[in-house]
Amino acid sequence: MLSSPLILLDANKIKKRLKKSSEKITVLEKIGSTNDYLKLHADQQVCLAEMQTQGRGRFNRSWHSPFGQNIYLSMRYAFQKDLSELSGLSLITALAVCRAIESIISIRNLKIKWPNDIVIGSEKIAGILIDVGAESHGYCDAIIGVGINVNMQNAAKKEIKQLWSSLQKITGKYIDRNVLSAAIINTVSDEIARFSKLGLSDFAKEWAEKDDLFGKSVVMLLEQKKITGIGAGINAQGHLMLKMPDKTLRAFSSGDASKDRV
C-alpha cells in the first residue's frame, strides 16, 4: 500500500497552467535522459519523464531517477547570443527554479551552491545540467535539464553518494509534480527572457541572497587539485570568486566547489 497518493505527470494538466499555451510538452514514462531526448528531437520544446535510466548531473555523475517520485525536466531555448555570453545561464536557471519552488511550497531557506546545486543546509534538493550547442549562424541552442527531489523518501547510499533531501521530506506534504513543473517552466522562461535582455548583472542581488558559499571556507576541486579559499560571490561572468590565503581574489569558471567541513 502506498504511503502517499501517486499523481502521475500529465501534459494537459501542466499545459493548462502555462503562460505560453503554445508550448509543446512531451511526457514519457521512461527514458535514458530527458536532455538526450531533446538533443535527438529538434522539434520538441519541453520533455518530462516519470523515470530516467541514465540521468546525469555535472561531471557526468549519475542522477538517481526513480519512477513517479521526482521531476526530471528538460527545456529547449534558442539564444541570439554568442556562446561566451551564456556563462551565467546556469546561475539564473538555479535562481528561477528556487523561485518556482518557493511560489508553490512554503520553503524560504533554499540556497544555491555555485553554480547550480539547490540545497537546504548541506542537503541537495535539486540540480541543473545545461547542454549548449553553437549553431551555424553564430547563435546558440541550449537544453536546460532540471532534476528535483520532490516526493522521494528513501534511497540507498550506493544510489546517491551525497547528502540529500526532498521537498516532501522537508514539508511533510505530498506535492503534485504537475503544478510544480508548470511553475518551473513559466519561471525559467520568464527569467531567461530577462537574462537575454538585461544580462547577469540584473540578478546580482538575488544571487547574493541565495549564495550558499559566500563568506564560507570553500574547497575547490580543479583538475584533481584542491584549492581552499573563502567564498566571495561571483564576478560579472558568473565565475566563482574565492579570497585566497594571501588575500588575493581568484576567479573560477569551472570546478567542483564545496563548503570545507573542517
- Is 6 a member of any domain? no
Q: How many CA atoms within 13 Å lie on the side-chain side of 164?
A: 23
Tally of structural domains, the chain: 2
Q: List the CATH number of the domain containing 117.
A: 3.30.930.10
Q: List the CATH number of the domain containing 218.
A: 2.30.30.100
In this predicted structure, the answer to whether residue 232 has a pLDDT above a threshold of 70 is: yes
The confidence score (pLDDT) of residue 252 equals: 97
In this predicted structure, the answer to whether residue 114 has a pLDDT above a threshold of 70 is: yes
- Is 115 a member of any domain? yes
Q: What is the mean pLDDT of the chain?
A: 89
**Residues 11, 47: Cα–Cα separation, whole Å:** 10
Cα angle 181, 100, 185; round to 5? 40
- Is 1 a member of any domain? no
What is the total residue count of the chain? 262
In this predicted structure, the answer to whether residue 143 has a pLDDT above a threshold of 60 is: yes
Residues 168 and 202 reside in one and the same domain: yes
- Is 238 a member of any domain? yes
1 — pLDDT class (breaks 50, 70, 90): very low
What letter would DSSP give residue 222? E
- Is 48 a member of any domain? yes
- Name the helix (H) or strand (E) containing 240: strand 240-243
Residues 49 and 15 reside in one and the same domain: yes
What percentage of the chain carries pLDDT values higher than 90? 73
Q: What pLDDT, in 10s, does the model give residues 171-199?
A: 999 999 999 999 999 999 999 999 999 99
Q: How many CA atoms within 13 Å lie on the side-chain side of 118?
A: 30
* Mean pLDDT of all residues in 21-27: 86
In this predicted structure, the answer to whether residue 148 has a pLDDT above a threshold of 90 is: yes
The stretches of the chain forming alpha helices (DSSP H) are 11-16, 34-40, 89-104, 167-171, 177-198, 204-210
* Mean pLDDT of all residues in 123-134: 91
Three-state DSSP string of 186-197: HHHHHHHHHHHH
Q: What pLDDT, in 10s, does the model give residues 46-89?
A: 999 999 886 555 545 555 667 889 999 999 999 988 888 898 99
Look at residues 246, 160, 235 and name the one whose alpha carbon lies nearest to residue 204: 235
Residues 50 and 110 reside in one and the same domain: yes
108 — pLDDT class (breaks 50, 70, 90): confident
- Strands of 256-259's sheet in order across: 249-252, 240-243, 225-234, 217-222, 256-259
- Is 4 a member of any domain? no
What is the domain range of residue 31? 11-208
- Is 2 a member of any domain? no
